[in-house]
Amino acid sequence: MKSSRTTWQIILSHTVTYFNILNLILAALILLSGQYRNMLFMGIVVANSLIGIIQELKVKKLIDALSVVTATKARLITENEIHQIPIEDLKINDKIRLISGDQIVADCTVLSSEGMEVNEALLTGESVPVHKNPGDILYSGSHIVAGGGIGQILHTGEDNYATRLVRKASTKKRAASEMQDSIKKIIQYVSYAIIPIGILLFFIQHFRANQSLSDSLVNTVAGVLGMIPEGLVLLTSVSFILGVGRLAGKKALVQEMEAIEALARVNVLCLDKTGTITTGDLIVDKILPLGSTKKEIHSIMDGLVFAFSETNATGQALQRYFNDTRPYPITATVPFSSRRKFMGVTFSGKGSYVLGAPDFLSRDMAVLEKSEEYSRQGFRVLLLASCQTLADSPKSLMNVRPIGLILLSDCIKEDAKDTLRFFARQGVSVKIVSGDNPATVSSVGVRAGIPGAERYIDASTLENNAAGLKDAIKKYTVFGRVSPEMKQAIIEAYQSDGMVVGMVGDGVNDVLALKDSDCGIAMANGSDAAKQTAHIVLLDSDFSSMKNIVKEGRTVIANIERVSALYLTKTIYSILLCVLFIIIGKPYPFTPIQLSLIGGTAIGLPSFLLALEQQEEVTATGFLRHVLRISLPGALLLVGGLAFIQLICIPAHLSDLLVSTLNLIVGGAVSLSLVAFVCHPMNRRRFILCTGITILFLGAVLLFPSFFGILPLGNIINVAM
């Protein structure tokens, strides 16, 4: 599947924009005026476009290919032989040979099964291999972990179940960014005002204030230019890029820069159990003797678990735990199969033993009740028993005597508990949405320390409607037996309840939820579809990396929230000044080069230095409200100061050059004071910053007065005297 936009479309989208066109028009007006020094603002325009193009091309490269099925060949059965063909050559009703270890390349119907067991975890989330009988469906993208058989092709290519899931995720939702959305709203509102205000301002400057055409053009450009918060867009882009770079060093690939902010603002985090909280492996949790000793159980199991060459996840867990590989003389074996639900060995001179499902091997009610009790707690329970002789069927076993219960559980990642505690401290509510057994998932959640994990539900019993899901998400923390579509519906239910939702997953069954979440996070060892659909990929598949992403996001947001007030102050006072000077019919108080001086010393330089600080104090009041709380008073103070100068300039007989000088000094003083306010609480680094920009502003005013169109300091003193 390909990205919806070509490289050329991406370049056009970042260059041919409303404000870029507007800036080019403003630059053309400056060219007409002949005052070329006032064109410095075009540098920011070019930088903004380049950063946007590079960012989206990087994302395009990552999401252009969504793939689920990695196998390229299939074993086609013809009348006389079996031969391999490319999967794209398969046709409906073709018969293919399947053996252990194969990836299923197309949806099939099972024609014959030789103890076939299939791992469908990436598609369904169910981590337990599923036994397949004739007539059952095999889904493309799943793997055969035991046995084999023959399948008949049901679907090919784009019609396969896994491919249909991925197709739904091909146009994924972009990561949520309250900050970017707020900035876009500001730009949208400003865009409505720029053209009418600009036209009115020009006519007032030229016809009522009696300015020359050149000066009228420059003053109009200054008024319009100040209304555009372009530096803020550049600041957010650069801040996100720096954050992406720092996270790349911590093994986290950010595919959309806005995802850093989205995860930092997440208040509900949905997890798929396998691959996030658990490793996907099993561990032996407890040994419960039944009329025997643990030593006896170990003695038998040490020989039994190594009697077979083929093992599944359960066998591997047993081999890791019972690892004393002394040579036991074995005279007979019965391998495990999903049909008989047990395995068995006969040791020379020691007797016969079986290991399997308690309800298949025993009729002892006490044993079965205990087994059921532990099963409800989420354990996988195996019964070890002795018998008279081995048999092919549990019903044929004679004199079965229970020896002990072996409890297995999912292996929780070492870093999971610490990471989950971190999210709890941050006020993030963690939910588990898994295709696995709800009791098993709940047990994992409780052991991992997730608050409320004992409240679970079988999601297959839920109706996919807004009312029912809204009630369920408030009651339960763990959702088991969740289909891909239900995962997506649960994510949307939380979002409709006003939550910012993150989703962590690694399988094809997660792609719909990853697509629609505010921030989707995938593990690098998961399916290609999950990785390409997600906004963030944990390259080392380390769940603890989530802490670094959240901390980095909070740092970026906190810094931008603090310095955004500097940019929006300029936007607000520029709009107010345009309106004011249209009403009073006087020349606009600033030229573009003067605004460049104020913007460079009191906005651009301090904002980029402050954006490099490391702090994680994100405001809880919302980005726009927080910024306006600082910028609006600052803008009103500056406009009030300039209005006062206009009131006194006529009775005090002040020259136009002196008025322009006073305007620049007042504008600079208010802007520098706002920087000092934003820097509170003041530290050594911030004090040096405030002192440095003040010296820089004063130096420019004192050393280059004619360049900025103001009076030298000596002349101002003489006028005052």
Residue 268 confidence (pLDDT): 94
pLDDT reading at 68 higher than 60: no
What confidence tens digit (pLDDT) does each residue in 181-197 have?
787 788 778 878 888 88
Between residues 523 and 145, the one the model is more confident about:
523
pLDDT band at residue 60 using 50, 70 and 90 as cut-offs: low
pLDDT reading at 102 higher than 80: no
Q: Residue holding tokens 């000094």?
A: 665
Instruction: Give me the mean pLDDT over the 334-362 stretch.
Output: 86
Residue 340 confidence (pLDDT): 75
Residue 2 confidence (pLDDT): 40
Q: Residue holding tokens 């970026």?
A: 556
Residue 3 confidence (pLDDT): 42
CA separation for the pair 693, 696 (Å, rounded): 5
Instruction: Give me the mean pLDDT over the 118-143 stretch.
Output: 75
pLDDT band at residue 66 using 50, 70 and 90 as cut-offs: very low
pLDDT reading at 474 higher than 80: yes
CA separation for the pair 398, 404 (Å, rounded): 18
pLDDT reading at 70 higher than 60: no
Residue 325 confidence (pLDDT): 63
CA separation for the pair 148, 82 (Å, rounded): 15
Q: Which helix (H) or strand (E) holds 114?
A: strand 108-119
Q: Phi/psi at 182 (nearest 5 deg)? A: -65, -40
Return the bridge partners of 457, or none. Answer: 479
Name which of 450, 455, 445, 399 is nearest 429 in CA terms: 450
Residue 620 confidence (pLDDT): 45
pLDDT reading at 230 higher than 80: no
Q: Residue holding tokens 């867990």?
A: 317
pLDDT band at residue 72 using 50, 70 and 90 as cut-offs: low
What confidence tens digit (pLDDT) does each residue in 657-708 have?
888 899 999 999 999 999 999 888 888 989 999 999 999 999 999 988 888 8
CA separation for the pair 620, 147 (Å, rounded): 56
Six-digit token pair at 24? 């080019």
Active site residues: 272
- Global confidence as pTM: 0.67
3-state secondary structure of 519: strand
Instruction: Give me the mean pLDDT over the 154-176 stretch.
Output: 67
Between residues 343 and 164, the one the model is more confident about:
343
Residue 687 confidence (pLDDT): 93
What confidence tens digit (pLDDT) does each residue in 30-49 have?
787 776 666 666 776 787 67
pLDDT reading at 170 higher than 60: no
Instruction: Give me the mean pLDDT over the 48-54 stretch.
Output: 74
Q: Phi/psi at 191 (nearest 5 deg)? A: -60, -30
Task: Round the average pLDDT of the chain to a whole number and report it.
Answer: 81
